[in-house]
């Protein structure tokens, strides 16, 4: 028996790839200032009209990166009372783990929701 490669509920491979890239491009923020926001924003802005899955995951990636940017700014301010020195590495590890988990989920066709995220875009 031949089974279809994708069920109707599963987004197309191309859509899954672009949704995954919405998440993964955020890691460019470790090399490029504000790359964590610009990467997902560029991919989402270019591809959001092509598939609702890309639109959804692009907004989710962008919301998480904006939330993380706010958290990093707060942690940098808190460096003056030494709490920020502990928070910055924790935030960096948290961001990497969450981005990888979201990327894997998007590549599998599952919509991922980041925890503790402010929903700027709905």
The per-residue pLDDT for range 14-53, each reduced to its tens digit, is 999 999 999 999 999 999 999 999 999 999 999 999 999 9
Q: Which helix (H) or strand (E) holds 105?
A: helix 83-107
> Is a pLDDT exceeding 80 seen at residue 8?
no
Is residue 31 within 8 Å of 42, Cβ to Cβ? no
pTM value is 0.87
> Is a pLDDT exceeding 50 seen at residue 9?
yes
Closest to 65 in 3D by CA, of 105, 24, 104, 101: 24
Q: Which residues of 1-122 form beta strands (DSSP E)? A: none
Q: Considering only residues 61 and 122, tell me which one the structure prediction assigns the higher pLDDT.
A: 61
């Amino acid at each position: 028996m031949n089974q279809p490669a994708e069920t109707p509920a599963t987004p197309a491979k191309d859509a899954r790839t672009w949704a995954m890239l919405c998440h993964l491009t955020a890691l460019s923020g470790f090399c490029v200032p504000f790359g964590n926001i610009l990467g997902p924003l560029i991919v989402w802005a270019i591809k959001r009209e092509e598939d609702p899955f890309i639109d959804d995951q692009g907004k989710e990636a962008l919301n998480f990166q904006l939330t993380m940017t706010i958290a990093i700014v707060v942690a940098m301010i808190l460096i003056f009372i030494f709490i920020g020195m502990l928070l910055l590495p924790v935030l960096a590890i948290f961001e990497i783990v969450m981005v990888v988990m979201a990327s894997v989920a998007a590549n599998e066709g599952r919509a991922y929701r980041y925890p503790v995220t402010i929903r700027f875009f709905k």
